[in-house]
């Protein structure tokens, strides 16, 4: 929070200044036309108080006249209203600040405005604007795997933008990510707060047991049915039965303990909303999602509202968006989805980092230089068990500069002599069908050595939880992604790709149109159909963010 040193000013002097200031006009500032009038609006004490810096420059542009408390104190009242609604954005309530600022407004309206009051509002506005625009946390301090840097405007820029606005009140009230998805999340927050205050969803704590599928009879089915009804995924039985009865002219037969087709359809809808394979089977992952409490979901909503403020990217241009928690990627242009596919991300001990960069090329038939940790922790033990492992997997040794002799036949090496502390080579795998990067990798050079790539291991894409890599992002449909990226620069991207792949040689292809890439971590959002989507906190980052929000004063916002 930015604090400005305050110095008391004669109320009479300030009132005289206040009376000569108007917020009318396109700049919303006091302007003077003569030297005599100018001398009436300059506030010498404020001039001395703010000798230098961007805040001083903002006030200098309006001759150090009051802004927030001028006239009817419209900007001050708008700011007070915005601060009083902090909790609707998942921000910490500031009743103490509201009380202090209210007293300054009352004084100004009674003709007793003070310098303390004006600068208290300047201070509060900077805190307010930063919180609404970029959130209240510094995400990169939470984890080395959150390399996200919200765009925080400079203090003088914030104040100057407000003071030069034609409509300062609307400017203040409009401070927040101007996106439909953010506003939808605010609505979800309010609804979930009301639900939690009312006791949450019905039938908590459904017992574990064997899987349940269509036609099975199980004592837990009534609980599951009630849970889905309370979550909105299943119509109440009276409504559903009446609709069916009207259509068939007779009531539906049924057994409360049996998983019927109606319940199965509702369960599939629930599974889709939670990123689960929609097989209609109640297994361990589906049961865990069903048993997640409304209060836990409320915490996730608060966390993801904060994330929305961190990542207010421009989405007008073509870009790649990867949601690590959803195990899925998209290519979008504006609001139009051009391409989407499943992905595999880093396992928990090799988490994929959240960051943004720019993709500028792809490599067809890539070689793979094995990371040192994989070479020593995974491949070296295999070499000790099978000295011919490198030959069998199209791998070679490359001297790392130590000058250790490297025989042409690596199976003749006594691998028991080497360890993680003494391994004087790099391992490189040549192009081919069994290359760990598959037939293509998509490069956005970055400090984490993370990229998107093909893989010969296809079975993992069928799973609903897909955190299995060493940190890079494996793409289920790499040729589809290549097609989209190459389309702006070649008439037949499939033929272009196939011709280079057929050579078997490593080939770099520069992109004529660079593409921003955003690796994000979003566990709650509202989709295009208005459905609230929830995902597991696969890396535990929701917990980190929520704990930090709590430390800043964020609460669940429940009405007592």
**Domains of the chain, CATH where assigned:** 44-176 (no CATH), 312-526 (2.40.440.10)
Residue with structure tokens 């004084």? 107
Neighbours of 456 (CB within 10 A): 12
pLDDT given for residue 30 in this prediction: 38
- Check if the beta carbon of residue 521 is closer than 8 Å to that of residue 325: yes
Task: Tell me the two tokens of residue 403.
Answer: 């000058």
pLDDT given for residue 316 in this prediction: 75
- Check if the beta carbon of residue 113 is closer than 8 Å to that of residue 69: yes
| Residue-by-residue DSSP string for 410-424 | GGGS-GGG-BTTB--
Task: Tell me the two tokens of residue 391.
Answer: 């030959």
Task: Tell me the two tokens of residue 176.
Answer: 């927040």
Q: Which one, of 211, 328, 203, 227, lies nearest residue 279 by Cα?
A: 211
Flag residues of the chain having pLDDT under 50: 1-41, 240, 244-245, 248-253
Burial class (CB in 10 A: 0-12, 13-18, 19+), 475: buried
- Check if the beta carbon of residue 318 is closer than 8 Å to that of residue 515: yes
pLDDT given for residue 242 in this prediction: 52
470 is catalytic: no
Burial class (CB in 10 A: 0-12, 13-18, 19+), 221: buried
Run of H or E residues at 82 = helix 74-84
Neighbours of 19 (CB within 10 A): 12
Give whole-number Cα distances, 125 to 19, 26, 63, 122, 349, in Å. Answer: 23, 21, 20, 5, 42
Predicted TM-score (pTM) of the model is: 0.87
Angle at the Cα of 423 from the Cα atoms of 419 and 428, rounded to 5 degrees: 125
Cα end-to-end span (Å), the chain = 29
Q: Kindly name the residue from 89, 104, 319, 453 that is annotated as catalytic.
A: 453
Give whole-number Cα distances, 303 to 181, 213, 393, 540, in Å. Answer: 15, 34, 44, 12
Predicted confidence (pLDDT) per residue in 182-237, tens digit: 999 999 999 999 999 999 999 889 999 999 999 999 999 999 999 999 999 999 87
pLDDT given for residue 31 in this prediction: 39
pLDDT given for residue 113 in this prediction: 82
**Which conformational region is residue 452 in: left (phi greater than 0), alpha (psi within -120 to 50 degrees), or beta?**
beta
pLDDT given for residue 212 in this prediction: 97
Q: Kindly name the residue from 89, 439, 472, 518 that is annotated as catalytic.
A: 472
**Cα distance between residue 418 and residue 414, in whole Å:** 8
**Cα distance between residue 22 and residue 195, in whole Å:** 46
């Amino acid at each position: 929070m930015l604090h400005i040193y305050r110095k008391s000013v004669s109320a009479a002097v300030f009132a005289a200044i206040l009376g000569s200031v108007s917020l009318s006009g396109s700049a919303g500032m006091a302007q003077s036309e003569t030297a005599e009038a100018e001398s009436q609006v300059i506030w010498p004490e404020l001039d001395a108080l703010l000798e230098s810096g961007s805040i001083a420059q903002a006030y200098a542009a309006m001759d150090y006249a009051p802004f927030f408390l001028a006239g009817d104190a419209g900007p001050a009242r708008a700011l007070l209203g915005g601060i009083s609604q902090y909790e609707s954005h998942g921000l910490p309530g500031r009743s103490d600040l509201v009380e202090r600022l209210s007293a300054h407004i009352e004084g100004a309206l009674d003709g007793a405005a003070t310098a303390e009051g004006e600068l208290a509002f300047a201070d509060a506005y900077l805190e307010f604007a930063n919180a609404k625009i970029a959130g209240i946390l510094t995400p990169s301090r939470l984890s080395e795997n959150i390399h996200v840097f919200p765009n925080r405007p400079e203090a003088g820029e914030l104040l100057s933008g407000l003071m030069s606005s034609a409509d300062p009140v609307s400017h203040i009230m409009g401070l927040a990510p101007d996106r439909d998805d953010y506003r939808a999340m605010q609505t979800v927050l309010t609804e979930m707060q009301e639900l939690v205050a009312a006791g949450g969803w019905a039938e908590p704590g459904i017992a574990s047991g064997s899987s349940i599928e269509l036609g099975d009879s199980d004592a837990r089915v009534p609980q599951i049915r009630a849970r889905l009804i309370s979550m909105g995924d299943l119509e109440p039985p009276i409504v559903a039965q009446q609709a069916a009865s009207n259509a068939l002219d007779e009531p539906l037969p049924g057994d409360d303990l049996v998983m019927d087709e109606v319940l199965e359809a509702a369960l599939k809808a629930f599974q889709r909303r939670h990123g689960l394979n929609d097989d209609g089977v109640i297994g361990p992952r589906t049961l865990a999602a069903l048993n997640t409490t409304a209060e836990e979901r409320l915490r996730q909503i608060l966390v993801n509202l904060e994330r929305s403020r961190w990542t207010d990217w421009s989405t007008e241009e073509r870009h790649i968006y990867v949601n690590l928690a959803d195990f899925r990627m998209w290519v979008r242009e504006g609001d139009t989805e051009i391409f989407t596919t499943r992905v595999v991300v880093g396992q928990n001990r090799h988490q994929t980092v959240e960051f943004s960069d720019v993709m500028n090329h792809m490599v067809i038939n890539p070689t793979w230089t094995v990371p040192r940790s994989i070479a020593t922790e995974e491949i070296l033990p295999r070499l000790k068990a099978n000295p011919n492992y490198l030959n069998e997997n199209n791998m070679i040794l490359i001297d790392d500069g130590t000058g250790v002799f490297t025989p042409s036949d690596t199976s003749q090496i006594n691998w028991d002599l080497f360890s993680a502390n003494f391994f004087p080579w790099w391992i490189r795998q040549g192009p081919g069908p069994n290359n760990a990067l598959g037939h293509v990798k998509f490069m956005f050079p970055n400090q984490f050595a993370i990229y998107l790539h093909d893989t010969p291991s296809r079975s993992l894409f069928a799973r609903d939880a897909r955190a299995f890599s060493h940190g890079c992002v494996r793409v289920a449909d790499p040729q589809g992604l290549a097609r989209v990226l190459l389309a702006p620069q070649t008439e037949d991207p499939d033929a272009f790709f196939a011709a280079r792949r057929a050579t078997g040689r490593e080939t770099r292809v520069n992109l004529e149109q660079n593409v921003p890439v955003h690796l994000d971590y979003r566990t709650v959002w509202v989709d295009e159909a208005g459905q609230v989507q929830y995902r597991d906190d696969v890396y535990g980052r929701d917990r980190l963010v929520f704990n930090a929000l709590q430390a800043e004063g964020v609460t669940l916002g429940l009405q007592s």
